């Protein structure tokens, strides 16, 4: 009985505690459709390259070139180039409800069976009564786990994490962050200025300006003005605003 219960409990924890992770790069239209199907009507979290704080999102729509979503905090409509999105985690309450009801139902049935099987009108000695009490306790615990699982997973949902881009694609910015972590600020600033002044990739130039704001290099307010003037609709302009004006 103990081994059976422990095996069941381990299976329950495994099913409810893990977050499936999918490496979806290179990102195709078919993979975008899979993400959008799961995201329909659900909420989630998003990580943008170079910005550590996760964004609370909903109404997510992913395409190979661009991604649109609603900011859960202020309900503003947002978009970004998909190639700067590191990952999206979708909280699927529909799947959570299905798994919760299935596992909860199994727990309840198991608990009820244990309780029914422990009932007997035959007289028992003290040791047998203690054993019966223990079996009944297992049954009640199974019932509790079943109800808790069914209700909890229906409300909480199951997280599904989608990694959209290979982190190595942004290795030059990771190298700049490493320089800053090592207090080599002048070298990092030089590398960022080189990207801003020489790169033909607008996205990289926007990220470089954002990094100068994020790490308070040179004059962050002036760098923000440049970023806003040149890339008014870029996601990094919005992120820079949140960094500079969040206390106001």
- The reported pLDDT for the residue numbered 1 is 46
What is the rounded distance in angstroms from the CA atom of residue 31 to the CA atom of residue 206?
A: 27
- The reported pLDDT for the residue numbered 169 is 85
What is the rounded distance in angstroms from the CA atom of residue 185 to the CA atom of residue 178?
A: 10
Give bridge partners of residue 45 from the DSSP assignment: 56, 89
CB 233 within 8 A of CB 111: no
- The reported pLDDT for the residue numbered 127 is 47
CA gyration radius for the chain?
26
- The reported pLDDT for the residue numbered 231 is 96
Where do the structural domains in the chain lie, given as residue ranges? Answer: 1-165, 168-245
| Residues ≥6 apart with Cβ < 8 Å to 215 | 180, 185, 188
pLDDT < 70 positions in the chain: 1-18, 94-157, 247-248
- The reported pLDDT for the residue numbered 194 is 96
Backbone angles phi, psi at 52, to 5 degrees: -70, -35
- The reported pLDDT for the residue numbered 158 is 79
* Whole-structure pTM value: 0.74
């Amino acid at each position: 009985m103990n081994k059976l219960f422990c095996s069941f409990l381990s299976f329950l924890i495994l099913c409810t505690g893990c977050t499936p992770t999918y490496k979806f790069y290179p990102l195709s239209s078919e993979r975008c459709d899979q993400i959008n199907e799961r995201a329909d009507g659900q909420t989630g979290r998003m990580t943008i390259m170079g910005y550590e704080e996760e964004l609370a999102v909903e109404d997510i729509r992913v395409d190979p070139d661009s991604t649109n979503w609603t900011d859960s905090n202020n309900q503003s409509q947002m978009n970004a180039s998909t190639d700067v999105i590191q990952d999206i985690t979708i909280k699927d309450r529909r799947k959570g409800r299905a798994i919760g009801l299935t596992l909860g139902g199994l727990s309840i049935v198991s608990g009820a069976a244990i309780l029914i099987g422990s009932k007997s009108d035959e007289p028992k000695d003290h040791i047998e009564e203690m054993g019966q009490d223990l079996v009944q306790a297992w049954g009640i615990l199974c019932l509790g786990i079943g109800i808790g699982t069914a209700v909890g997973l229906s409300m909480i949902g199951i997280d599904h994490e989608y990694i959209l881009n290979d982190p190595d694609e942004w290795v030059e910015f990771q190298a700049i962050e490493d320089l800053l972590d090592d207090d080599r600020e002048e070298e990092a600033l030089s590398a960022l200025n080189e990207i801003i002044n020489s790169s033909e990739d607008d996205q990289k130039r926007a990220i470089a300006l954002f990094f100068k704001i994020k790490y308070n290099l040179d004059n962050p307010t002036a760098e923000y003005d440049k970023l806003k003037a040149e890339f008014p609709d870029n996601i990094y302009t919005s992120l820079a605003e949140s960094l500079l004006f969040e206390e106001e």
